Every structure is written in structure tokens, then in C-alpha cells.
A and B are shown apart, each in its own frame.
Chain A
Amino acid sequence: MFSADLLANAVVSGLLLGGFYAAVAIGLAIVFGQLDIVNIAHPAFVIVGSYTAYIFNTTFGFDPILVGVAAMPLFFAVGVAIYRLYYAAFERTGQESLSGLAFFFGLMFIIEVTLILAYGVDYRLVSAGYSAQTLSIGFVDLPGRMLVPFLVAMTLTAAVWLYLSRTFMGRAIQAVAQDRGALQLMGADPVRIKQWAFGLGIATAAIAGALLIIIGPVEPSVGRQYIGRVFAIVVLGGMGSIQGMLIAALLLGVTENLVSTFYGPSWSPAVAFGVLLATLAIRPAGLFGR
């Protein structure tokens, strides 16, 4: 049962999986980590991204990743609109904790049920040339349906990291997380910056969704399994740190894959939530707390 090449394969495919998790979690790392908005509907937006990729792939034959990139502006606009509503209804009146949470919970539910009403609960999948190919290095296999999402996820992570640390707007987003009042004194409008950042966070869901449906078939309630994963990753990564988030994502991917290889796939959902519970109970600041 236990052998070196099985272990090596489990670790490598865990790393590929973890890289993909980073793409799902990065939007939340911005929205929850930097802005302190508990968007538990983020995985639901990822699923919307998957269905967008699915629709354009099956009707026009477009590549899912291209569809994801093309859908980003639309997702951005939706994100901005949702933030405006969230700000007007909750943040301005200081009710974001209880009502804000319930708001996103309801939003997640609405998205899921709408998708079920429109497309049913059947698993949907896309076809792309690279998903059937496999790259083999020694005894380690790198299947294309995992490798391509991994590479795209790494590109996305690097791009967001560069954006946040190099551009004016990116630094302003980090500033709004640290000290809202000081930012206002510098002549920047925190609400406009937060709305931009929220839009950016939702826009990444378009790409993450395309990657999700390349990796495997998707149905509307799949998003729920990702709630635990993405929050585990963001909290473990130390809230808003992009490097920390990436390391946490890779760690979770490898752990989950090892558990599913050696104990059976039915146990793997508990890994993320177990890690999350343990982190919250023992070290809420995460591995790389700010």
C-alpha cells in the first residue's frame, strides 16, 4: 500500500491541487483578508464562473480559460454593485457583523438555487485539448487537467501580488485594511477603494470557476465544499497576506491529497474544515499573522 512513487505522486498532485486552491482563495484573501467583508458567497461566484465557462465552451467551443478572462470585467461590475448594496445597507449603519453575514449567506443560497433551477443538479463539464493529455517526468504524472489550472492559478496569484504591492491602487487597498481614517486624511475615498477591491475579488472568481470546471465536473452545490477550504486557506495564511495564502493553499492541497490517497476520498472534505477549526481554536492569527 505504502510506496515511494505513490507518495511522490500524491505530493505532486497535491501541490497542483493546492495551486488551484490558491486561485479560488485569492479573491477572498482580498475581500475578507484586506477589507474584512465576510463574503461566504465567494465559492458561489466561482461556480457561476464555472457555468459561464461551460455555456460558452459547449455552445461556441471557446477555451474555458479565455472565457474566464473575458468574463472578468462583467464579474468586476457585479462585485462593485454588490459592494454598493452592502455598503448602503450594512457597513454605513454599522450592522455588518450579523446582518452582513446573513446577507451573504442568503446571496449564496439564491445563486445556488437559481443555478439548480436553470441547469438542474447534473454534473457539467467542458472539453479542452489539454485536459486529456498527461506529462510524465520519471514516475511522476502531471495530468494536463491539473497542470494547466495550476499554471494559470500561479500566474493569477503573481499578478494580484504585483498589483497589490506595486501599483497605487493596490497599495491603497492594503492601506484601507490597515487604517481607514489615515487613508481618508491622505485624500483617498475608502468606499471607492473598497468597492474597487471587492470588484477585483469577484473578478478572480471568473478565472477560478473556469479552472474548477477544467479540473472536474461541476454541479451547483459543489461550491459549498469550497467554503471551508477557502476560509481555511485565508485564515491559515494570516488574513490578507498573498504569500501566506499561497503557502497555506499548497499545504492544504498536499494534506488533502495525502489523506484521500491513504485513507480514502470520503475523508478529504473533513481535512480543510478540521484544519480551519484547529487554526481558529489554537492560533487565530494564522501561520503568518499580520
Chain B
Amino acid sequence: MRGRGFWAASAALLAAGLAFTELADNPYYFNATYVVLQALIMAVAWNILGGFTGYVNFGSAAFFAVGAYTTIFLQKAFGLPLPLMILAAGLACGLIGLGVGYLTLRLKGVYFAIATLAMGIVLETLVNNWSYVGGAKGTFMLTPDEHLWFDSYSEMLFMIMLVLALGSIAISRALSSSRLGRGLAAIRDDEVAAECSGVPTLRLKLVSTTVMGAMMGVAGAPYPYFVTYVDPISAFNLFIAVNAIAMPMIGGTSHWAGPVIGALLVGSAQEVITVTISSELNVLLVGIMLVLFITLAPQGIVGLARKHWRKRS
């Protein structure tokens, strides 16, 4: 997709979102799309590190939870407005991402992946023992009364999430098609060779982990207002981390559109299955789809489409 087409499509989606909030009344639609969009941001963010550089992050849920808990903390301490909280959550998680980036100096491959998993549990234990934000018992969040010109608060949250999602896709797309993105791809293919050819690998990895962290924090920031009750078990849920990995893997990790396709497909399927069959089965389905795709179609849907295209031409 060329530059102008991408921006036109984004503007059209934004307009469609606005029209949707005017026309639809059923709050279920907004809640369902919110969940899909939240997963989409997480998937796009995961892919910026996992897909572009090949470093696997198992701690996505931790970034998400830190974003959510930043909102809770700031709400309790200062009562800031939501946009500022989203910004603060992005900053906090960006900093953690930067720290994780420095881990890559010593830890390659699987060791890095295990370290991110470990980081998640350490952070969860800290939150469990931090009574100011509710500790293990969790905490309730009151939904503010004003919601701009929207009919309800959930409509506004949906619109905020749509803007954030489009922003994340734009950032991911800009990263992948820039000089920086080619450097990241060089790291994925052979880090030592890239370093030898003059690619500033550490700086690129730091940029990629920081952007990933910030994006995940931003995705988590509105979450307390969406669910109104947050406890460590739901915020650090493994399901969030599995989704963040499964969606890019199913969509295809090598292209910026991969996680978007994967998230829309898997996310919508989850919503449909939750409503029609059961929510446990939808969790199981993601695991099975993940395993099936990486064994049978490691390049994901994008890879399958490319193969199909090449055959025809």
C-alpha cells in the first residue's frame, strides 16, 4: 500500500468509527470492538520487536499491566484526565522497554525470552504486594461522568482505542519501511553480520524495545476504565501474552500488515466464539491455531498470500 492510500484508508476508518458511534446504540458492539482493537495494538507492538528483530517477548502482559496500573495510580494520586494517563503509561512502559533493550546486550535468543517471562512474574509480585493500588485484592475504578459529545463512556473509549490503534499501525508501518526497519531486519537475519557491516544494532534494538513497551503501555492505560475492576490476575493474564504472540504469528511476522490481519481475524473469531459457544473454548482455540500455524505455515497468512500471488504471476 503506497503512502497516500494508507493515509486515505486510515482517515476513512476514523470517519467510519465516528459514524458508527452516532448510529449504533447497543453497547455490546463497542465493547467487542474495543477488545479486538486492544489486542490489535498489543499484536502490532509485539511484532515491532518479535517480528522485526526476532527477539521473542513473553512478557507482553506485564507491559500491558504496568500501563493499566499507571492509570490506577495516577487516578488515585492526582485524578488526571485520561489522555495524560495514556501518555504517562506510554512513558513508564517505554522506560521498562528501554531497560529490557539493555538486557539484549547479554541475552540472545531463548535467554532473552525467558528473561521477559521472569520480568513479568517479578512485576506481578510487586503489584501483588503494593496495597496502594489494591494489591492482590484488586481495585475498583469509577467511570467518569463526562464523555465529550459521545452518547456513553464506552463509545468514547472505543473511539480513543481506534485512534491509538491507527496510530500504532502507522508507527509500525513507518518503522518497517524506513532505513531503521531494514536495520532491524538485518538484526533478525544475522546480528553479528549486521554489527560487522556497521548497523548500530544496540541503538536499533533499544528503539524497538522502547517503542514496543510504550505501545503496550498505551494499550493498557484505558483498560481500568473499560473493565472498572482490575486485579493482578486479570491484568497480568497469560492470555494477553499468548494473544500478542499468536496474532502476529498467524498473520505473518515479516510484514507490518501481518499482526493487523492476524488480530482482526483471531480477535473477531474470539468474540464470535465467546458469544456463541463458550469463553473457555475461545482461549483453547487461540493456542491450537498458534501451534497449527507455526508448524504448517510459519510465514503466516501474509506468507501464504505471497506464495499464492507468485504462483499466479
Would B119 and A102 count as touching, CB distance under 8 A? no
Contact with A along B269-304 (1 / 0, CB 8 A): 000000000001101101110110011001000000
Contact with B along A262-290 (1 / 0, CB 8 A): 00001101100110110011001000000
Closest to B107 in A: A280
Taking residues whose C-beta sits less than 8 angstroms from the other chain, chain A's interface range is 35 or more
> Which of B106, B109, B118, B125 is in CB contact (< 8 Å) with A267?
B125
Would A103 and B291 count as touching, CB distance under 8 A? yes
**A161 contacts B by Cβ under 8 Å:** no
Would A270 and B246 count as touching, CB distance under 8 A? no
**A113 contacts B by Cβ under 8 Å:** yes
Contact with A along B231-249 (1 / 0, CB 8 A): 0000000100010011001
Would B114 and A276 count as touching, CB distance under 8 A? yes
Number of CB contacts from chain A to chain B under 8 A: 119
**A110 contacts B by Cβ under 8 Å:** yes
> Which of B54, B118, B287 is in CB contact (< 8 Å) with A277?
B118
> Which of B122, B238, B242, B281 is in CB contact (< 8 Å) with A270?
B122
> Which of A40, A269, A274, A284 is in CB contact (< 8 Å) with B111?
A284
- Interface residues in B99-116 (C-beta closer than 8 Å to A): 103, 106-107, 109-111, 113-115
Interface 9-residue window, one of A128-136, A168-176, A177-185, A224-232: A224-232
Q: How many residues of B contact A (CB 8 A)?
A: 42
Do A266 and B280 form a contact, CB below 8 Å, given A102-B249, A224-B238, A276-B115? no
Would A281 and B106 count as touching, CB distance under 8 A? yes
**A164 contacts B by Cβ under 8 Å:** no
Would A102 and B56 count as touching, CB distance under 8 A? yes
Would B122 and A97 count as touching, CB distance under 8 A? no
Would B298 and A99 count as touching, CB distance under 8 A? yes
**A95 contacts B by Cβ under 8 Å:** yes
Would A106 and B246 count as touching, CB distance under 8 A? yes
Chain B residues within an 8 Å CB radius of A227: 117
**B129 contacts A by Cβ under 8 Å:** yes
Chain A residues within an 8 Å CB radius of B117: 40, 227-228
- Bound Cα distance from A187 to B107, whole angstroms: 35
Closest to B103 in A: A281
Closest to B298 in A: A99
> Which of A38, A93, A110 is in CB contact (< 8 Å) with B110?
A38
- Interface residues in A233-282 (C-beta closer than 8 Å to B): 235, 266-267, 269-270, 273-274, 276-277, 280-281
- Bound Cα distance from A38 to B109, whole angstroms: 10
**A140 contacts B by Cβ under 8 Å:** no
Would A109 and B238 count as touching, CB distance under 8 A? yes
Would B111 and A98 count as touching, CB distance under 8 A? no
Chain B residues within an 8 Å CB radius of A85: 295
Would B136 and A106 count as touching, CB distance under 8 A? no
Would A280 and B106 count as touching, CB distance under 8 A? yes
> Which of A101, A235, A270 is in CB contact (< 8 Å) with B56?
A101
Would A280 and B122 count as touching, CB distance under 8 A? no
**B12 contacts A by Cβ under 8 Å:** no
- Bound Cα distance from A97 to B298, whole angstroms: 12
Would A106 and B242 count as touching, CB distance under 8 A? yes
Would A98 and B50 count as touching, CB distance under 8 A? yes
- Bound Cα distance from A35 to B206, whole angstroms: 31
- Bound Cα distance from A117 to B117, whole angstroms: 25
- Bound Cα distance from A273 to B116, whole angstroms: 10
**A156 contacts B by Cβ under 8 Å:** no
**B84 contacts A by Cβ under 8 Å:** no
- Bound Cα distance from A102 to B46, whole angstroms: 13
**A114 contacts B by Cβ under 8 Å:** yes
Do A280 and B115 form a contact, CB below 8 Å, given A113-B280, A113-B284, A267-B125? yes
Chain B residues within an 8 Å CB radius of A7: none
13 CB < 8 A contacts A-B: A90-B295, A98-B56, A98-B253, A106-B291, A109-B238, A117-B280, A225-B121, A231-B118, A270-B125, A274-B118, A280-B111, A281-B107, A281-B115
The 5 lowest CB-CB distance pairs between A and B, nearest first, are A270-B125, A109-B287, A273-B118, A106-B290, A106-B291
- Give B residues with C-beta under 8 Å from A: 50, 54, 56, 58, 103, 106-107, 109-111, 113-115, 117-119, 121-122, 124-126, 128-129, 136, 238, 242, 245-246, 249, 253, 280-281, 283-284, 286-288, 290-291, 294-295, 298
- Give A residues with C-beta under 8 Å from B: 38, 40, 85, 89-90, 93, 95, 97-99, 101-103, 105-107, 109-110, 113-114, 116-117, 221, 224-225, 227-228, 231-232, 235, 266-267, 269-270, 273-274, 276-277, 280-281, 284
